[in-house]
Amino acid sequence: MKKIIPANATWIWVITAFFVFSNAPYAFAKPQKKQGGPGQENADPLVNAAMKNMETGVWSVKGTVTAKKPIKLQGLLSGEDFDLSTEPGTKPNTPLREIAIKDKAWICSDGETWHATEPNDRLIYNWAHVPIMADRKLPPFEKVGSEQRNGQTWLHVRLKVPEKNINPKELPQYWLVLDSQGQAQYVGHTEMPMYSQARKEVMYCSFDYAPAEKKIAPPPLGAPVDDKAYGFNDIEQHKFEWKGRVVRLEVTPKILESKQIGEDTYRGFLKDTATPNHYGVVEFPHDALVKLGFLNKIVSGAHASEDLEKMGALGRTEGEPVSFYVQVIPIGAKPAARAVAVGARLVRDPDGSVGYTWESNEKQTAKLPSAPGGSDKADGDLVNRGIEKAKNGDLDGAIADFNRAAELDPKNDAPYYNRAQAKRLKNDTAGAIADYTKAIELGSTNPAAYNNRANARAETNDRDGALADYTRAIELKPDYARAYYNRAVLKKEKGDKVGAEADFKRAQKLDPELIQDPSNRNAEEEPGTDPKSAAAGNKLTLLDGKLTLDIPPDFSRDPDDPKTPKTLAAFSGPDSAWGTVLRGTHGLTPEELDGYLNKRVAEYSKGFKWLPKDSHLQWLKKEIVTIDGRKWADWSFVPVSKSKKDYSHNPVYTRNLTTSYKGQLLEINFSSNLNTDPRLKREIDGIVDSVHLEE
């Protein structure tokens, strides 16, 4: 096949380095084999001819790539085009499938929806393509033997080396399919080690190839349901009837909110024209919102229309309704469906095929929009973007960014540390420990890596390992009060009262607010402790002194960000705990408070589907309360295991307080995030309970 210069990974045969490896997987059967002797003629022309023949046509490929774990790969190759699936994918029991045709590419990770991706992201293509890549200088091969398979002659050849003690299974090997004249037709099978410069490791591949009758085609969408324009209510009501089908959606010209929800996917909050006061969300690929005129430029993060206008990103605000085509993906049994935008214009070709394009003046037959141009893929940018996604609750998106960053720079500890943090939030304790360990092995001197791994180890009852980690964290940061405190708790559990008391005293000296009485301190405070006194600290005033709340010393106020003017204040606490005070993200009257609470409860209950199967979101509060004569929505939650009733040591305890202030939303949010200390939960309650708002 034609040589392709990989855009994101470089693969080379292991010709010298593979000599140090042994016991490579080798499960290819060899029936009716005839040995080839040393007098056999040179095999190189046959290898070159087989590869040359595979430059054209469509070829099926099926096999595995194995490093630490095997990855199954199968699909089609045709020159630079491909349709390949790998398993495991990003979701359990669902292969990841990618299609690339010329300058367009699509990816599907959930088995249902397709999104545009970059055509030069050819990692899995390289796995299958490099072994049969023609037009390159090959080392010499020697014949090993031949065999008959389904009436065909298969010639076995392998790399020729002078060394006599080399395990032949470690050498690149081919099984060439010959015609009746002994000429090579194609490579039927190959086994070889390859070195991935991106992964900095040797991977073993084993692939079967064969001519394929099936052609590589774009993701099938088909013609629209009809030529009518519909609204969000229509999509919800007909979601099962229209499952997987395309409809034309018509909306008002102004976008209400833009939010980045994936590496190259954005969500637009829009109002339709079909039903009064009916709103909905649509998923858009890459720059589709710009091409449709809703935005002037692509923006990351989540921004309401007011913010977009200040940023110079808001497109049209008035004019004629806008219509485009969306694919309908049902969600559950209730009237809810995803609307995935596939194009702005319908294209009907003379051969009867139907496609969609984002261009208004260019005839195309692509089923999805053109793949985006090059974007910054530096591992540092990916890590930072992943951190932002995690802060916004998109843990799967964050982990995907950290995965990619680790692949691009496997010697960097930052992607592994941050991926560990995200895995802790997903209750994947074992995965978090593995990633903390990898970060440490790569030379991380971040004391938090040891402290957080210790917390995770303590959760798995590895007390000795946790104790060693707390000690190492203290060695790296001698004034690490929380590590002293955590080690004290663990020592007390192990019966080391003297050691525990010494650590409690040291923690108290470094941070007097961390503990109040080290002589009788338990892992958590005694019942009856006043959370308000525990949280007492600096009194913060906002809204010209009308809003006050008590912020404890272990929470610090973040610098104001001009990009988020609706955030009156943001706070950072221990072990990535956080808090925010928001105002004016949208209008809210006192009469709408009940509906707002119900909406948020439903959204969060649905949004935490990433929790393990044996866990659920426990709502601790979701009620309307009266504080100083004003109605507030008081809502709090924590993920819990179905087999446990005690959530005191669980992460992600979150408390929210919402009210209407001068016709606008005013909301206070605080979360423990990764921190599992029961004291922090009471501290958060103390902050929220201290809130006072005057008219």
* Whether residue 473 is found in the same domain as residue 506: yes
My answer on whether 389 and 496 are in the same domain is: no
Does 544 lie in the same domain as 507?
Answer: no
Instruction: Report how far apart, in Å, the C-alpha atoms of 631 and of each of 472, 549, 589, 666 are.
Output: 49, 17, 11, 12
**Range of weakest confidence among 131-145, 194-208, 410-424:** 194-208
Question: What pLDDT digit, counting tens, does each position of 336-389 carry?
Answer: 788 888 888 887 766 556 677 776 543 333 332 222 333 334 455 688 788 878
Task: Write down the pLDDT at residue 14.
Answer: 44
Asked whether residue 391 is assigned to any structural domain, the reply reads yes
Give domain status of residue 371, yes or no. no
Per-residue pLDDT reduced to its tens digit, 153-167? 999 998 887 766 777
Within a domain: residue 219?
no
140 in the same domain as 15: yes
What pLDDT is attached to residue 360?
A: 52
Across 107-111, 215-219, 471-475, the highest mean pLDDT is recorded for: 471-475
Classify each residue of 500-525 as buried b or exposed e, where b means 16 or more C-beta atoms within 10 Å of its C-beta: bbbbbebbbebbeebbeebeebebeb
- Average pLDDT of the chain is 79
The average pLDDT across 482-493 equals 89
The pLDDT assigned to 578 comes to 87
Q: What is the pLDDT of residue 241?
A: 87
In what helix (H) or strand (E) does residue 135 lie, and over which residues does it extend? none
Mean pLDDT in residue range 589-604: 88
* pLDDT value, residue 135: 65
pLDDT of 314 above 90 = yes
Give the lowest-confidence range in 24-28, 391-395, 604-608. Answer: 24-28
Provide mean pLDDT across the span 124-149: 85
Residue 218 lies in a domain: no
Of the three residues 189, 211, 233, the one that is the final residue of a domain is 211
Q: Are residues 330 and 381 in the same domain?
A: no
In eight-state DSSP terms, residue 619 is E
The separation between the first and the last C-alpha atoms of the chain, rounded to the nearest angstrom, is 74
228-261 pLDDT tens trace: 899 988 888 888 888 888 999 999 999 999 988 8
2 part of a folded domain = no
**3-class DSSP state for residue 11?**
strand
Residue 362 resides in a domain: no
Question: For 75-97, how does the pLDDT look when each residue is reduced to its tens digit (9 = 90+)?
Answer: 999 999 999 999 988 777 889 89
Average pLDDT over residues 463-477: 90
- In which band, very low, low, confident or very high, does the pLDDT at 7 lie, cut at 50, 70 and 90? very low
**Total residue length of the chain:** 695
432 assigned to some structural domain: no
Overall average pLDDT of the 51-73 stretch: 91
Final residue before a domain boundary, out of 523, 554, 579: 523
User: Which pLDDT belongs to residue 150?
Assistant: 87
Please tell me the predicted confidence (pLDDT) of residue 609: 53
Q: Are residues 538 and 569 in the same domain?
A: yes
Same domain, 179 and 33: yes
Q: Is residue 363 included in any domain, yes or no?
A: no
Is pLDDT of 517 > 70?
A: no
pLDDT at 545: 82
> Which pLDDT score is estimated for 268?
92
The number of domains in the chain is: 5
Whether residue 538 sits in one domain with residue 512: no
Tokens 């050691």 map to which residue?
A: 499
**Chain centroid to CA 17:** 33
- Spatial strand order in the sheet of 664-671: 556-557, 567-572, 578-587, 664-671, 654-661, 630-641, 615-627
The domain boundary residue, chosen from 357, 387, 417: 357
Q: pLDDT tens across 413-458, in order?
A: 888 988 998 888 888 888 999 999 998 988 777 788 899 999 889 8
CATH number for 507: 1.25.40.10
Least confident range of 2-16, 145-159, 616-630: 2-16
Per-residue pLDDT at 274: 79
Based on the domain organization, do 619 and 675 belong to the same domain?
yes
Give the structural domain span for 104.
11-211
**Domain shared by 485 and 380, yes or no:** no
Task: Please indicate, yes or no, whether residues 350 and 240 belong to a single structural domain of this protein.
Answer: yes
Contacts 24+ apart (CB under 8 A), 530-539: 531/682, 531/683, 531/685, 531/686, 531/689, 532/686, 532/689, 532/690, 533/686, 534/679, 534/682, 534/683, 534/686, 535/682, 535/683, 535/684, 535/685, 535/686, 535/687, 535/690, 536/686, 537/513
What does the block give as tokens for 99? Answer: 């299609």
List pLDDT tens digits, range 105-120: 778 877 777 766 667 7
Looking up residue 584, the CATH number of its domain turns out to be 3.40.1000.10
- Rounded Cα distance, 491 and 473, in Å: 15
Residues 509 and 620 in one domain: no
> What confidence score (pLDDT) does residue 659 get?
94
How far apart are alpha carbons 82 and 58 in whole angstroms?
A: 9
Q: What is the pLDDT of residue 534?
A: 32
As a whole-number percent, the residues of the chain with pLDDT over 70 amount to 79
Q: Is the pLDDT of residue 38 over 50?
A: no
- pLDDT bin (cut points 50, 70, 90) of residue 197 is low
User: Contact at 8 Å (CB) between 503 and 514?
Assistant: no
Say which CATH number the domain at 235 has: 2.40.50
